[in-house]
Chains A and B, each alone.
Chain A
Amino acid sequence: MGITVSLENMEKIYERPKTLKKAVMHYCPGCGHGVAHRLVMEIVEELGIQENIIGVAPVGCSVFAYYYMDIDMQEAAHGRACAVATGIKRMMPDHYVFTYQGDGDLAAIGTNETIHACNRGENITIVFINNAIYGMTGGQMAPTTLLGQPATTCPMGREQVANGYPIRMSELVAQLPGTIYVERVAVNTPARVRKAKKALTKAFKSQELKKGTSFVEILSNCPSNWKMTPVDSNKWLDENMLPYYPLGLYKDEISGE
């Protein structure tokens, strides 16, 4: 037995932004990347900046971001997105430039580039997806993997003496004089998705001020490598990631402008 729904006289209230390509994403069911991609592209559409924005994709699960985001993009070497973005922005200071990076890319192999781009106050937006695990390579320990959290390279759970502590990037870059906007958000509930969009909008718009780096950390899930259902992973994020990675605004030097 089926239900027949007529689309006549119905108002379309939700659709694919024009800035997202008509492509089926390769992300696992329930993964937060799809939501984060959409948020960034909604903002590009709403700000009307498709013609003057350049994105930099990382190495990690979002390595194919340019197959989905309908804007000019560059694929950076692992960890070098902020250096690549710096090269673009210095040549085209009036264009919007952003990086979209995961935790391995931004906070392990690329920490140096991240810190120095933020410290120079490169006028770019850094979108940082923190899901506390290496997704693309299959669940190895990330720099942001929580103590006790199992990963394939710390199967008994991350242990401090052997593996060190999970790194808090928002707190770190907020201390640097070059950043003007730093916020940590999450995409595991509809309310948080809306809040994430507000933060991202602010971050992208801040490039107009030419005053420094905007950094938005998005806590996201990885059902496949956390080895749980999407619903459980969203709950796990609340219970485990939020205590160590508190959501909120870490720096805002733009709101008064």
Chain B
Amino acid sequence: MSEMLLMKGNEAMAEAALRAGGEGYFAYPITPQSEVAEYMAREAPKHGTVFLQAESELAAINMLYGAAAAGFKVWTSSSSPGISLMQEGISYIAGAMLPCVIVNVNRGGPGLGTIQPSQGDYFQTVKGGGHGDYRLITLAPSTVQEIVDYMGLAFDLAWKYRNPAMILMDGALGQMMEKVQFKPYTDPGRDISWATRGKSEDRESNFITSLFIKPEEMEQVNLQLQRTYREIEKNEVRYDTYETDDADLVLVAYGLSARIASKVMHILRNKGLKVGLVKPISLWPYPYKVLNELADRVKGFFVMELNAGQMVEDVRLGVNGKKEVGFYGRMGGMIYSPEEVSEKVEAFARKIGM
């Protein structure tokens, strides 16, 4: 087993991408994740990989487009306002069926907002963001170890389905130092027969585009994308459950909130409330099924997010009206304490007759 290191989330992310064979990184600095670019500037040359500081997030995402379309394993990272600027490019990348990894170290918004952590970009990430019918494979780490583990996974999923993958985390995880272990990574192999690496005589020219002016063709491209999305929904749902076997009430939280939720769970269990936790790891595809099954035997669900209530809509879709779904959130870069949330959950438990 490899050695245990103490690393900051942002730097661990960059190191993981290098170890997962990331061949290029294009980005523009933005708090709270500028350490990623600083780490790459220092370390990428040692790995013989490409690092380029772009003139804007707009340029960065389009450099990513070019590099991905040439069949390279490339990624970028940014934070909320920068990710907003990238939305056009992300839609083009999805439309052109290009694999790449984009990391959003979420900060508080809207607008220029704050540099403090937030989960306010859930809707943007899993419900669209850019234009058109597309989906991003989305993974949400809740520890520095998970950032590292999901980086390789995000690359593999992106390449397996030729679809962009996003790692959605928050500023706290990026800035947090934790112990981390890099597991050996093996690339499962990548088909680049479609990529633009120069037209050889034995094949037709390859071109990468998301433009299909004839509606009959554009519909076919959309249908192909939808088939891929159904495949991903079938194969790639990921989540963890904690103490749900005997639970009467299930907390649902991802990322930083899942860490706090786990503490909430212990506080409430000590008070005699049978509370469990579902931590979605893939935010798209979303783990609707486990929630729907749990809804048959628990009394209610409680969602906690660092936003005004975004994922809670997906929890309600999963629960499908079978049980009550409570919610508590903080916004603008504020983080709830476990005690604060425990009170809200207790009040909810009383309300639903627990």
Q: Is B62 in contact with A88, judged by CB distance below 8 angstroms? A: no
| B89 lies within 8 A of chain A by Cβ | yes
Q: Is B209 in contact with A72, judged by CB distance below 8 angstroms? A: no
| A84 lies within 8 A of chain B by Cβ | yes
Q: Is B65 in contact with A86, judged by CB distance below 8 angstroms? A: no
User: In whole angstroms, how far apart are the Cα atoms of A54 and B50 in the complex?
Assistant: 19
Which residues of A66-83 are within 8 A (CB) of B? 66, 69-77, 80, 83
Q: Quick one: given A70-B205, A84-B65, A116-B59, are A90 and B50 in contact (CB under 8 Å)?
A: yes
| A56 lies within 8 A of chain B by Cβ | yes
Q: Distance in Å from the Cβ of A31 to the closest Cβ of chain B?
A: 18
Residues of chain A within 8 A (CB-CB) of B201 are: 51
Q: Distance in Å from the Cβ of A42 to the closest Cβ of chain B?
A: 16
Chain B positions 56 through 78: 1 when the CB is less than 8 Å from some CB of chain A, otherwise 0: 10111011111111101010000
| A163 lies within 8 A of chain B by Cβ | no
Q: How large is the interface on B (under 10, 10 to 19, 20 to 34, 35 or more residues)?
A: 35 or more
Of all chain A residues, the one with the shortest Cβ separation from B66 is A87
Q: Is B199 in contact with A112, judged by CB distance below 8 angstroms? A: no
Q: Distance in Å from the Cβ of A20 to the closest Cβ of chain B?
A: 11
Partner of A90, one of B58, B63, B199: B63
> What are the 4 A-B residue pairs with the smallest beta carbon separation, nearest first?
A87-B66, A87-B63, A75-B209, A84-B66
Q: Which of A52, A63, A69, A80 has the most CB of B within 10 A?
A: A80
- Which residues from chain B sit less than 8 Å from chain A, CB to CB? 23-24, 26, 50, 52, 54-56, 58-60, 62-70, 72, 74, 88-89, 92, 96, 196-201, 205-211
Of all chain A residues, the one with the shortest Cβ separation from B196 is A72
Q: Is B52 in contact with A75, judged by CB distance below 8 angstroms? A: no
Q: Which of A63, A83, A113 has the most CB of B within 10 A?
A: A83
- Which residues from chain A sit less than 8 Å from chain B, CB to CB? 21, 50-54, 56-57, 63-64, 66, 69-77, 80, 83-88, 90-92, 95, 112-113, 116
Given contacts A52-B198, A53-B198, 4 further A-B contacts (CB under 8 A): A51-B198, A72-B198, A87-B68, A116-B55
Partner of A83, one of B24, B58, B70, B199: B58
Return 20 A-B CB contacts under 8 Å, by A number. A54-B70, A54-B196, A56-B66, A57-B209, A70-B205, A72-B205, A74-B66, A75-B208, A75-B209, A76-B65, A83-B59, A87-B24, A87-B74, A88-B66, A90-B24, A90-B63, A91-B66, A91-B72, A92-B70, A113-B55
Q: Quick one: given A51-B199, A91-B24, are A74 and B59 in contact (CB under 8 Å)?
A: no
Q: Is A70 in contact with B197, judged by CB distance below 8 angstroms? A: no
Partner of A91, one of B67, B200, B210, B211: B67
Q: Is B62 in contact with A87, judged by CB distance below 8 angstroms? A: yes
Partner of A87, one of B55, B64, B209: B64
Residues of chain A within 8 A (CB-CB) of B96 are: 75
Residues of chain B within 8 A (CB-CB) of A53 are: 198
Q: Is B74 in contact with A88, judged by CB distance below 8 angstroms? A: no
Residues of chain A within 8 A (CB-CB) of B68 are: 87
Q: Is B70 in contact with A113, judged by CB distance below 8 angstroms? A: no
Residues of chain B within 8 A (CB-CB) of A56 are: 66
User: In whole angstroms, how far apart are the Cα atoms of A199 and B208 in the complex?
Assistant: 28
User: In whole angstroms, how far apart are the Cα atoms of A90 and B74 in the complex?
Assistant: 12
Q: Which of A52, A54, A69, A95 has the most CB of B within 10 A?
A: A54
Q: Is B207 in contact with A113, judged by CB distance below 8 angstroms? A: no
User: In whole angstroms, how far apart are the Cα atoms of A84 and B64 in the complex?
Assistant: 7
Partner of A75, one of B63, B74, B197, B207: B207
User: In whole angstroms, how far apart are the Cα atoms of A66 and B210 in the complex?
Assistant: 12
Q: Is B208 in contact with A74, judged by CB distance below 8 angstroms? A: yes
Residues of chain B within 8 A (CB-CB) of A63 are: 211
Q: Is A86 in contact with B63, judged by CB distance below 8 angstroms? A: yes
Of all chain A residues, the one with the shortest Cβ separation from B96 is A75
Q: Quick one: given A51-B198, A87-B26, A87-B67, are A66 and B205 in contact (CB under 8 Å)?
A: yes
Partner of B62, one of A51, A52, A70, A84: A84
Of all chain B residues, the one with the shortest Cβ separation from A93 is B50
Q: Is A83 in contact with B62, judged by CB distance below 8 angstroms? A: yes
Of all chain A residues, the one with the shortest Cβ separation from B55 is A116
Q: Distance in Å from the Cβ of A135 to the closest Cβ of chain B?
A: 15
Q: Distance in Å from the Cβ of B162 to the closest Cβ of chain A?
A: 15
User: In whole angstroms, how far apart are the Cα atoms of A27 and B65 in the complex?
Assistant: 27
Q: Is B59 in contact with A113, judged by CB distance below 8 angstroms? A: yes
Q: Is A91 in contact with B198, judged by CB distance below 8 angstroms? A: no
Q: Quick one: given A54-B70, A75-B210, are A112 and B196 in contact (CB under 8 Å)?
A: no
Q: Which of B56, B96, B208, B211 has the most CB of A within 10 A?
A: B208
User: In whole angstroms, how far apart are the Cα atoms of A83 and B28 in the complex?
Assistant: 13
Q: Distance in Å from the Cβ of B264 to the closest Cβ of chain A?
A: 44
Of all chain B residues, the one with the shortest Cβ separation from A92 is B70
Partner of B69, one of A21, A74, A95, A116: A74
User: In whole angstroms, how far apart are the Cα atoms of A20 and B23 in the complex?
Assistant: 32
Q: Is B89 in contact with A92, judged by CB distance below 8 angstroms? A: no
Partner of B207, one of A52, A72, A112: A72
Partner of A74, one of B60, B89, B196: B196
Q: Distance in Å from the Cβ of B139 to the closest Cβ of chain A?
A: 24
User: In whole angstroms, how far apart are the Cα atoms of A83 and B52 in the complex?
Assistant: 11
Q: Is A88 in contact with B67, judged by CB distance below 8 angstroms? A: yes
Of all chain A residues, the one with the shortest Cβ separation from B209 is A75
Residues of chain A within 8 A (CB-CB) of B209 are: 57, 66, 74-75
Q: Quick one: given A86-B52, A91-B74, are A75 and B211 in contact (CB under 8 Å)?
A: yes
Of all chain B residues, the one with the shortest Cβ separation from A116 is B55
Residues of chain A within 8 A (CB-CB) of B60 are: 83
Q: Quick one: given A63-B211, A91-B74, are A73 and B205 in contact (CB under 8 Å)?
A: yes
